[in-house]
Amino acid sequence: MAKVLMKGNEAIGEAAIRAGCKNYFAYPITPQSEVAEYLSKRLPEEGGVFLQGESEVAVGYMIFGAAGAGERVMTTSSSPGISLMSEALSYIAAAQCPAVFVNIMRGGPGLGGILPSQGDYFQATKGGGHGDYHLLVLAPDGVQEAVEMTMQAFTLAEKYRNPVMIMGDGLIGQMMEPVEFPDGLKTEPTNKDDWATNGMAHRKSKKRNLVKSLFLDPTALNDNNLALKAKYAQMKKEEVQYELVNADTDYQVLITSYGTMSRVCRTAIDMLKEDGIQVAMLRPKTLFPFPEKAVFDASGKDSCQAVISIEMSMGQMVEDVERCVKGRRPVEFYGECGGDIPSPEKIIEIIKALL
Amino acid sequence: MQTEIKFAGFGGQGILLSAKLLAYAAMKQGSFVAWIPSYGPEMRGGTAYCTVVISDRLIGSPIIKNPTHLVAMNRPSLEKFENDVKPGGIIFINSSLIPVTSQRTDVTQLVVPVNDIAIKAGSVRAANIVALSAFAAKSNLVDLELLKECVKNEFAAKPKIIPLNMDAFDLGVKSAQTD
């Protein structure tokens, strides 16, 4: 298919359709409302269901319901809306249902602002809701990757029967870039008869499926949490994605950065190179599972004097970076939030100060 | 090689569309492009601006402080952004609404009475197309025939207004050539 110029928000909507998603429930919030606008028009054309819930709390449980019935389902929201959905996320993870959540992050805490931010890293990777669970978290750096990750997200959600979250930000949602849509994934999940409450009529087995998150028997609850833990361990083994930039040089500094922020860093790295300063970047594409070993390895290069995590937050991913560098290099942080994205010139100034 | 163009005016002038059409034509020419709107709280009739980046390589930072060129459709936009333009760039001035020119001497100023030309073409609403084609003719960033085709496609659902916009396009090109 030829390239088209699309807003990130609309491209995410189209990607979901091409992945075979027939159910989308949402509540509008800036800066992601174009996803809902787009799908309210497109999904009925595809025989799907678009529904605007009365609140994000309701939407979270609509997602749970559809996911429990084995349907491909997605919602999109922005930071405060994701907070309201977090209870349902915990339930969906506990009940082991596949679903796709997109967070087009805006500044927080509280109502915050409507401009781009990366302030929800902790929320996405360390919990958000209660209990021992993880989301599989993908972080695109542009519209094309947002499309690819949205499509991947459904496959991953079904492989692990676990909610997958895509972490974009206001800029990725609002920006237009050329996109090419990969071939669709319009296949049905193969194993849903084993667990989903999708009706008995067509099944050979007469086993009744039960989707639940309440385990009053301590052994049963422990077993369920062990099953979740095993899935997270498998994700760590099989699903880590990251990109290394300028890492084949004798770089003096290693940047860790993701999403929109990583693009600014990429430009700064090119500009620094012209000044004869080599800097590399490790860009996690999965925030959970985090590229632990890759960060450890990249920080250990002899030429590397320091690691710096650059984020549109007050310092969140840097805690994972510190954990993975294991103290063998100093780990610094630079971040801005509130909506003004740091410029490449600012990043260059920060890097030069490290040397 | 990377070129950045800031389009600025007030809401309703069709700034975002002009910028999108330029990005589209550049994409069709095989360039990497990005269209970055300013979004934020604005009142009706407030300022609207966005930036198009056209590059021969993957676009890194989409945050552009100093664009190569500026298309200013009203006076506040000129005053707000004229000093950001890189030396050697083009500052496009809609003289129908901007009674002054820029103090900058290190840029090329293209002064076109966009609204008056659009009225001549049939409707002031085509002012954004006049500005787009005039700027494109001066900057040589995209092939003019290809851009014209993109404008035509944009209005495919409203065939009645295609002739108006085609006329506006041609008059815009002419105005840049006679400037």
Q: Is the pLDDT of residue A190 over 80?
A: no
Question: Among B1, B39, B86, B154, which would you mutate to test the A interface (most chain A Cβ atoms within 10 Å of its Cβ)?
Answer: B39
A2 CA to chain B: closest CA distance, Å? Answer: 10
Q: What is the CATH number of the domain that holds B130?
A: 3.40.920.10
Domain extent for A47? 4-196+228-237
Residue A208 lies in a domain: no
A247 lies in the same domain as A334 = yes
**Chain A, window 204-263: residues with a beta carbon less than 8 angstroms from a chain B beta carbon:** 260, 263
Residue A106 lies in a domain: yes
**% of chain B beyond a pLDDT of 70:** 98
**Interface contacts (A, B; CB < 8 Å):** 60
A233 lies in the same domain as A270 = no
Q: Is the pLDDT of residue A244 over 80?
A: yes
Q: How many domains does chain A have?
A: 2
A164 lies in the same domain as A41 = yes
A157 lies in the same domain as A306 = no
Q: Which among A183, A212, A237 is the end of a domain? A: A237
Cβ-nearest to B37 among A3, A174, A341: A174
Residue A133 lies in a domain: yes
A125 lies in the same domain as A250 = no
Q: What is the pLDDT of residues B22-79, one digit of tens each?
A: 999 999 999 999 999 987 777 777 788 999 999 999 999 888 999 999 999 999 999 9
Question: Among A5, A34, A345, which would you mutate to test the B interface (most chain B Cβ atoms within 10 Å of its Cβ)?
Answer: A5
- Distance of alpha carbon A174 from alpha carbon B50, whole angstroms: 11
CB-count exposure of residue A193 (10 Å: 0-12, 13-18, 19+): middle
Q: Is the pLDDT of residue A338 over 90?
A: no
The answer to whether residue A329 neighbours chain B at the CB level (below 8 Å) is no
Q: Which among A186, A216, A237 is the end of a domain? A: A237
Residue A219 lies in a domain: no
- How sure is the predictor about A191, in pLDDT bands with cuts at 50, 70 and 90? confident
Beta bridge partners of B109: B91
A86 lies in the same domain as A154 = yes
- Kindly write down the DSSP assignment for every residue of chain B, as one continuous string: -EEEEEEEEETTS-HHHHHHHHHHHHHHTT-EEEEEE--S---TT-EEEEEEEEESS-------SS-SEEEE-SHHHHHHHGGGSPTT-EEEEETTT--S--S-SSSEEEEE-HHHHHHHHT-GGGHHHHHHHHHHHHH--S-HHHHHHHHHHHTTT-GGGHHHHHHHHHHHHHHHHH-
Q: What is the CATH number of the domain that holds A317?
A: 3.40.50.920
A154 lies in the same domain as A276 = no
A233 lies in the same domain as A265 = no
A188 lies in the same domain as A169 = yes
Radius of gyration of chain B (CA): 15
- Distance of alpha carbon A107 from alpha carbon A80, whole angstroms: 9
Interface predicted TM-score (ipTM) of this complex, two decimals: 0.93
CB–CB contact A175 B60 (8 Å)? no
Give the CA distances from residue B74 to residues A221, A315, B1, B140, in Å, rounded to whole numbers and listed in that order. 65, 40, 29, 23
A11 lies in the same domain as A141 = yes
Domain extent for B101? 2-178
A266 lies in the same domain as A158 = no
Residue A207 lies in a domain: no
Q: How many domains does chain B have?
A: 1
Query: Which residues of chain A have a CB within 8 Å of the CB of B60?
Result: 263-264, 266-267, 270, 344
- Distance of alpha carbon A323 from alpha carbon A331, whole angstroms: 10
Give the CA distances from residue A335 to residues A332, A343, B61, in Å, rounded to whole numbers and listed in that order. 10, 11, 16
Nearest Cα to A105, choosing from A138, A82, A128?
A82
Q: What is the pLDDT of residues A131-178, one digit of tens each?
A: 999 999 999 999 999 999 999 999 999 999 999 999 999 999 999 999
A64 lies in the same domain as A24 = yes
Residue A218 lies in a domain: no
Q: What is the pLDDT of residue A1?
A: 58
